[in-house]
Amino acid sequence: MSSLFDSLYYIIPFIFLLGVLVFVHEFGHFIIARMCGVRVTDFSIGFGRKLWGFTDKYQTNWKICAIPLGGYCQFLGDANGASAGDDENVLDSLSEEDKKHAFSLQNPWKKLAIVLGGPGFNYLFAIVVLAFVFMFIGNIVYPPVVGGIIPGGAADKAGILPNDRIIEVNGRKISEFSDISSEIALSASGYADIVLKRGDETIKLNIKLTNISVEDGKPVSERPMLGIKSKSTVEVGERKLSFFKAFALAGKEAWRMSVDTLRGVGQMIRGSRGTEDIGGIIRIAEMTGDISKTHSWIDFVGFMAMLSINLGLINLFPIPVLDGGHVVIFLLEIISGREMHEKVKEVLFKCGFAFLLALMLLATWNDFVHLFKRWFV
C-alpha cells in the first residue's frame, strides 16, 4: 500500500503539471487563431480515446483524451493536429464563407502569429506566475546549496558534499547560488577560501581551483571554477516586490532560463557536453514527484515556470513539425511572396518527425539509464 501512495506522488502531480502546461500552450494557439478569424475544430489535452468533452457555440470540440502526454489544437482544413499539411477533401468541400476561416488559406502573417501564440503563452504564463510569487510571497532565490559535484573538480578534491551550504567565499557573505561564481571569478590567485555549513558543523577550506570548460556567449574557454552544481530547490526571500519590479524580475528570470537552456544545447552540438543530460517524459515525471514529496509548493511553482519556459523555447527550435519549423516556413513565404509547395513541406515534416522520434528515443534511453543508476547502483 505504501508503494501505491508513493507512486501517486509521481503520477498525480506529473499529470497535473503536464496538463496545465499543455493547456497553456494550446490555448495560446487557440486564442490567437480566434483573434485572426481562424476556426478551431478540435482542442485536445492528451491523445487517443476521448474521455470527456463538449462542443462550444463556435463548433470547437473541447476534449480530454486517455494519453496525457501532450495535446493539439486543430484548425479548419488541417489534415492533423500538428497542422502538418492540408486535408484537400475538406478544403474542397468548404463553402466560400468557411474558406475565410481555414488556417491554410490565411496570409502568412496570420499563420505566423498563430504558431507563435503557443510558445508566447508559455513564456507569458511563466512570467505571470513568477511575478505573482514575487509580489505576494517574496522574491525567489536559488540558495547556495550544493546539488551536485563535478567529478575531478576542485570541490570534489576538497571533499565538498551535496547539500553543503556555502556561506562565505573569500570573506564575502553568500546569499544565493549565483553569488558563488561571481566571487570565484575574482579569485586571481587560483585559490578560494570557502566557509560552508554541513548540518550543525561549520567547515573552512582553502581550495585550489581547477580549470573547467565553460561557454558564456563566446567560444568555449577554460576558467578556474569550484566545480559544483545548484540544487533544483528554491527559497523565498523576505522582500515582496512592487508590481513593476516583480514583472521585471520575472522577465529577467525567463531570459536567464532561456539562455541557460540554449547554452546547454550549444555545448551538446559542439561536443563539449554529453547528451546524457537530455531527458524526456520519464525524467520530468521523476523530478515532479521528487519535488512534490520533499519540497514546498513554491519549488513546484518554480519548477512549473521553468518547464513552461523550456516548452516554449524548445517549440521555437527550427525543426519541421514544431512551431519553430512552421515559423521558418512562413517567414520564407513572406520573403518570397509565394507559398511553399505542399510536397516540399511534406518532405520537411517527415524529416522533422524522424528527427524528433530519434531524439525521443535518446531521451527515453537516458531516462531508463538514470533510473537504473538511481535504483540499483
pLDDT tens, position by position, 284-307: 888 888 787 777 778 788 889 999
Do 323 and 298 share a structural domain?
yes
Write down which residue in 179, 200, 230 finishes a domain: 230
Do 149 and 127 share a structural domain?
no
Do 298 and 342 share a structural domain?
yes
148, part of any domain: yes
Mean pLDDT over 227-231 rounds to 80
Do 114 and 31 share a structural domain?
yes
91, part of any domain: no
Options 26, 183, 235, 253, the catalytic residue: 26
17, part of any domain: yes
335, part of any domain: yes
Give 152-198 pLDDT, tens digit per residue: 888 888 888 988 999 998 888 887 787 787 787 776 677 888 899 99
155, part of any domain: yes
Q: Is 52 within 8 Å of 38 (Cβ atoms)?
A: no
Go through the chain and tell me how many residues it has.
377
What's the CA gap between 361 and 20, in Å, rounded?
25
Element holding 62 (H helix, E strand):
strand 61-75
172, part of any domain: yes
The number of folded domains in the chain is 2
Do 30 and 126 share a structural domain?
yes
What's the CA gap between 298 and 141, in Å, rounded?
11
Give 129-163 pLDDT, tens digit per residue: 999 988 888 877 778 888 888 888 888 888 889 88
Per-chain mean pLDDT for the chain: 83
Do 110 and 27 share a structural domain?
yes
87, part of any domain: no
Do 132 and 14 share a structural domain?
yes
Do 190 and 305 share a structural domain?
no
* CATH at 205: 2.30.42.10
What's the CA gap between 308 and 55, in Å, rounded?
28
Do 316 and 218 share a structural domain?
no
Do 299 and 363 share a structural domain?
yes
pLDDT of residue 100: 86
Write down which residue in 177, 207, 230 finishes a domain: 230
HSE of 64, CA atoms in CB hemisphere, 13 A: 9
26 is catalytic: yes
Express as a percent the part of the chain with pLDDT over 70: 88
Q: What is the pTM of this model?
A: 0.77
65, part of any domain: no
The residue behind cell 518527425 is 353
Q: What are phi and psi of 337, to 5 degrees?
A: 80, 10
Q: How many CB atoms lie within 10 A of CB 235?
A: 18
C-alpha cell at 188: 586571481
Domain residues for the domain of 161 are 143-230
Write down which residue in 187, 204, 230 finishes a domain: 230
